[in-house]
Amino acid sequence: MGLFNFFTQEIAMDLGTANTLIIHNDEVVVNEPSIIALNRNNMKEVLAVGKKALMMHEKTHESIRTVRPLKDGVIADFNAAELMIRELIKMIYPKKPLFPPSWRMVICIPSSITEVEKRAVRDSAEQAGAKEVYMIHEPMAAALGIGIDVEEPVGNMIIDIGGGTTGITVIALAGIVCDQSIRIAGDEFTADIMEALRRYHSLLIGERTAEQIKINVGAAMKDLDNPPDDLPVNGRDLVTGIPKQIMVSYQEIAEALDKSIFKIEEAILKALETTPPELAADIYRRGLYLTGGGALLRGLDKRLSAKIKLPVHVADDPLKSVVRGTGLALKNYQRFPFIMR
């Protein structure tokens, strides 16, 4: 087995709806949007993946198709997912190695995933060249990545606001005690922004522009301590059909996102209601941890702590906390009980 181990390389992968990150040798080597551009005439031919494919998204002609293989945190397009994983793994080694290594992979999956969806992740990874595939639930990985000791008998609540789903999980003794998962997250916020601009400014914008608005002026509250500047937004006027530009302020975006954030608050309250009382006492002392890309929304922590009346901590670099935890799980894949074979 010594020779086999020599050729086995280990990677940890966070396969997300919006971004896919890969850790190899303790550093994030791949951090790309989960999107792939394929040739329509030959669907096995990959034209671009990651950032390059995102540049093409919504700007394609009829012989190019851009696909986001993951929807709501699970694989929606099996072939595209397999091609994307394969291309992203190729990015780790820019020069082609003499002996292509066999991979040992740890992949994170949402905690609300069904057996069929889990199987799809495993099959995609194996098709892309993984010898051994291990899986870990995303909230567990996020907790490890934040730096929480998950094995001690203390309750921690992790709120992971990703691209497709928001997972609200209570963790204790290296296991998941209760979890709520709702399909309201980054993509839903983007859709809300598109809808708001269409309704109030009769301006039609694409998904990518809405995403940029969310990143630059996205907010969860109307009064922020250091508000961002207004952002010029270009799109097509629905009345005249001519492209035009408007200025968008963070207050408008906070208004647009209000309903979706309210639903996330409801889900958190619902999760707290089902928490056993001893763990609830721990959560009162420790507060809630926010992670995932949605945690970067300005003022979200303040808004949640005002509603729930508990302290809310945002993980540092919340986009990478899940993949960091997956990297830790990879190092100790024999020791941690919650890693699934």
Cα torsion 60, 64, 65, 68: sign = negative
294 is in an annotated binding site: yes
Neighbours of 78 (CB within 10 A): 13
| Backbone angles phi and psi of 113, in degrees to 5 | -75, 145
159 within 8 A of 168, measured Cβ to Cβ: yes
Closest CA to 167 of 88, 91, 56, 72: 72
296 is in an annotated binding site: yes
214 is in an annotated binding site: yes
CA distance 136 to 277: 27
Residue 212, marked binder: yes
Spatial CB neighbours of 225, under 8 Å, sequence gap ≥ 6: none
Nearest 5°: the CA angle 239, 245, 247 is 115
17 marked among binding-site residues: yes
| Residue 82 annotated in ligand binding | no
Which residues are CB-contacts of 204 (< 8 A; sequence separation ≥ 6)? 197, 198, 235, 236, 237, 238
d(CA 272, CA 192): 27
Q: How many other β-carbons are positioned within 10 Å of the β-carbon of residue 212? A: 17
Q: Which two tokens stand for residue 202?
A: 């009769």
What long-range pairs does 295-299 form, CB within 8 A, spacing at least 24?
295/159, 295/161, 296/215, 297/161, 297/189, 297/214, 297/218, 297/219, 297/220, 297/257, 298/218, 298/219, 298/220, 298/221, 298/224, 298/228, 298/250, 299/219, 299/220, 299/221, 299/224, 299/254
Determine whether the annotation assigns residue 18 to a binding site: yes
Q: Is 164 annotated as a binding residue?
A: yes
211 labelled binding-site residue: yes
Q: Which residues participate in the annotated binding site for ATP?
A: 17-19, 163-165, 211-214, 293-296
Q: Which residues participate in the annotated binding site?
A: 17-19, 163-165, 211-214, 293-296
